[in-house]
Amino acid sequence: MAFTHGKNATFWITDAGSTLRNITTYLNTAGLTRNADLAETSTLGSTYKSFVGGLIDGKIPISGLWDPTVDGYLTGILQSSKAFEYFPAGLGTGNIKENGNCILTSYEITTGLDGAATFSGEFQVDGAVTRTVL
């Protein structure tokens, strides 16, 4: 099995000026969730439910340490569809790359008396996600 440590993950997002930016050094978490819609097709007299697959949805949650540079990237793209690249195991040969477009739908800055300023956000996947092997 080819397990990997989360520290190897890399996340890139296109900024408002259409430049693909590596924001990995600001992040302490990133992910990609996918959900599939199901439509029930059970009929009268059925003993068990049956379903047919529908549309696939995805979200990209991120969080990290706040910095004016990454803040500029993220606030500049709220509600805009932008290209992303996510490498869950890093950029090495044989690793997986997930890419597509996404829309930043939430962005929050958090500060506290006893800690570093942080941020969190969530992107809505916009269209298909392509998975390739490097």
b/e sequence 19-34, b meaning 16+ C-beta within 10 Å: eebebbebbeebebee
CATH dotted code for 6-133: 2.40.30
| Domains in the chain: boundaries | 6-133
For residue 116, the one-letter residue type is: A
Please say if the pLDDT value at position 2 is more than 80: no
Q: What is the pTM of this model?
A: 0.90
Contacts of 36 (CB under 8 A, 6+ apart): 53, 54, 55, 56, 57
Please say if the pLDDT value at position 112 is more than 60: yes
- Name the phi and psi angles at 76, rounded to 5: -75, -15
Please say if the pLDDT value at position 115 is more than 60: yes
Please say if the pLDDT value at position 1 is more than 90: no
Radius of gyration of the chain (CA): 18
